[in-house]
Structure 1
């Protein structure tokens, strides 16, 4: 079961976030674009469309049984191939159309296959998991403040209010190649996964997000609306997008 919502927020004039979920392939995709002259909107839309469509085609050629070779599964490798294609096409468009030069986007995906989920991330959009009362961020932000946390220069609490918290160190489409964080996790019945842009978690802390999901008592649509509405009530300084999915 999935629920998704995207909102422009209270300050921005346009929505540079894009998202999609495909029940047939089990792929959830969310992107938060950046760049002037509508570059952010274009980059995020391209990322979501290319990754979704390319994976749908690649999935047709997946073997019936997984190889026992150590490393990423065939499904995860197909997902990485789709992401690499999106990166190339966004980058090439930026080269061809100078007014779009430098455009790029964050990207997070969650691909459900049997009792496993493959998570890929670039930038500062996030994937969380709520399991048996424990709410955990599964992705690592590719940001300046995250690096400062890792070097012990600031605390996670200080990072929430840092003026440079929106500076990302990795994005899709800004260079010819991109490094993607990929992980494969087991899925348990009842697990709830949240994909979201920074417009959500900049307004709400993890405890607030978990409370609203719990308070919805399994109604993911209600949880999605409550999260967006509360983020807007707190200022809505950026576009706010999220996908919620529960494993059966």
Structure 2
């Protein structure tokens, strides 16, 4: 399986600075998206620290043998990288007054042949479009999601909740953090969308799916998503990473043998 990637981030309409950060390591098939929070410019510091650290450390690990690693080994490597990134952000937030209270949510993917491992902390999300079916692969670590799970509110009520952005996990807030990692089978034609809540809060799942189906290239799809979020109010920073799975072309010699030539 081959993967094609594209990332895009936008400040949105109402914010003055962009506290989101996206990073791709195409060679090692790693995608990371972080949505920072904190006063002044601290949020963008936290998100940039997270994406830079994970791309560097996990990329190095994958390059040194990750392609032959088991899912369990890759998951453990992802957890270690996030733990180290969390400690770096936490220490900076507690040692430098200008960074006090900073933190970041994060969603990341490691894409390998017929499998992908998706990890997340907070409410940054990953979706998958397969044969017209659009599903959310991550489950928000948020107060709103906990209320939904407990049956305290309905999905309809959740759409109008005023506390959508109260997360229950984030990097840099405490000295430890738990990365949730899940493995998914990959099929030809799968399209994965990683995004910050600046996208998912502005557009329904139905609208996201429609844009991904109708737009053309990954570049065009990403711009269509961000334009639609801004048209709907653009209240927050908006970031997307797209990863498309495509079958590897058969080698000419193998194709000839299969055709009996």
Class of the TM-score when normalised by the shorter of the 2 chains = over 0.9
* Alignment TM-score, normalising by the size of structure 2: 0.90
**What are the residue-to-residue correspondences of 1:54-133 with 2, within 5 Å?**
54-62=57-65, 65-66=68-69, 72-133=71-132
Runs of 5+ consecutive residues of structure 1 not aligned to the other structure: none
Question: Structure 2: how far apart are the matches of 1:56 and 1:181?
Answer: 19
CA deviations over 1:88-116 (Å, ceiling 9, x no partner): 10001111102212210000001112211
Q: Indicate whether 1:48 and 2:51 are aligned.
A: yes
What SS does the corresponding residue of 1:229 show, helix, strand or coil?
Answer: helix
Structure 2 partner of 1:160: 159
Question: What is the number of equivalent residue pairs in this alignment?
Answer: 243
Question: Structure 2: how far apart are the matches of 1:205 and 1:5?
Answer: 19
Which residue among 21, 27, 31 is the counterpart of 1:28? Answer: 31
Structure 2 partner of 1:12: 15
Runs of 5+ consecutive residues of structure 2 not aligned to the other structure: 247-261
Q: Tell whether the 8 Å contact from 2:67 to 2:112 is kept in structure 1 after alignment.
A: no
Structure 2 partner of 1:245: 243
Larger Rg: 2
Structure 1 partner of 2:200: 201
* Alignment TM-score, normalising by the size of structure 1: 0.95
Structure 1 partner of 2:146: 147
Question: Structure 1: how far apart are the matches of 2:14 and 2:89?
Answer: 27
What SS does the corresponding residue of 2:108 show, helix, strand or coil?
Answer: strand
User: What CA RMSD, in Å, does the superposition of the two structures yield over aligned residues?
Assistant: 1.2
Structure 2 partner of 1:230: 228
CA deviations over 1:173-222 (Å, ceiling 9, x no partner): 111100111111111111000000011011100000000010014x1111
